[in-house]
Amino acid sequence: MYLAIKRLIDLLLSSIIILILFPFLLIISVILLCTGEGYIFYLQQRIGYKKRHFNIYKFATMLKDSPNIGTGTITMRNDPRVFRFGRFLRMTKLNELPQIINVFTGDMSFVGPRPLVQRQFEFYPAEVQDRIYNSKPGITGIGSIIFRDEEKLISESKEPPFEFYKRVIAPYKGEVEMWYQKNRSLKTDFLIMFLTAWIIVSPESDLAFRVFKGLPQRQF
Would you write out the chain's pLDDT as a tens digit for each of its 220 residues? 898 999 999 999 999 999 999 999 999 999 999 887 788 998 989 999 999 999 999 998 887 766 666 666 676 666 778 888 888 888 888 898 999 999 999 999 999 999 999 989 999 999 999 999 999 999 999 999 999 888 788 888 888 888 888 898 999 999 999 999 999 999 999 999 999 999 988 888 999 999 998 999 887 7
pLDDT of res. 72: 63
pLDDT of res. 115: 94
Contacts of 3 (CB under 8 A, 6+ apart): none
Q: Is 85 left (phi over 0), alpha (psi -120 to 50) or beta?
A: alpha
Side chain identity, residue 155: S
What are φ and ψ of residue 136, in 5° steps?
-65, 145
pTM over the 0.95 mark: no
- The answer to whether position 132 is within a domain reads yes
Contacts of 134 (CB under 8 A, 6+ apart): 50, 181
- The answer to whether position 148 is within a domain reads yes
Report yes or no: 90 and 82 within 8 Å, Cβ to Cβ.
yes
Q: Closest Cα partner for 62 from 97, 100, 35?
A: 35
Give the up-direction half-sphere exposure of residue 169: CA atoms within 13 A in the CB hemisphere. 26
- The answer to whether position 27 is within a domain reads yes
- The answer to whether position 111 is within a domain reads yes
- The answer to whether position 185 is within a domain reads yes
d(Cα 168, Cα 92) in Å, to the nearest integer? 26
d(Cα 127, Cα 136) in Å, to the nearest integer? 17
- The answer to whether position 216 is within a domain reads no
Contacts of 122 (CB under 8 A, 6+ apart): 129
pLDDT of res. 90: 84
Contacts of 190 (CB under 8 A, 6+ apart): none
pLDDT of res. 195: 96
d(Cα 22, Cα 30) in Å, to the nearest integer? 12
- The answer to whether position 140 is within a domain reads yes
* Domain ranges, residue 100: 2-211
pLDDT of res. 62: 82
d(Cα 100, Cα 94) in Å, to the nearest integer? 11
pLDDT of res. 106: 97
The total number of structural domains in the chain stands at 1
Report yes or no: 39 and 32 within 8 Å, Cβ to Cβ.
yes
- The answer to whether position 219 is within a domain reads no
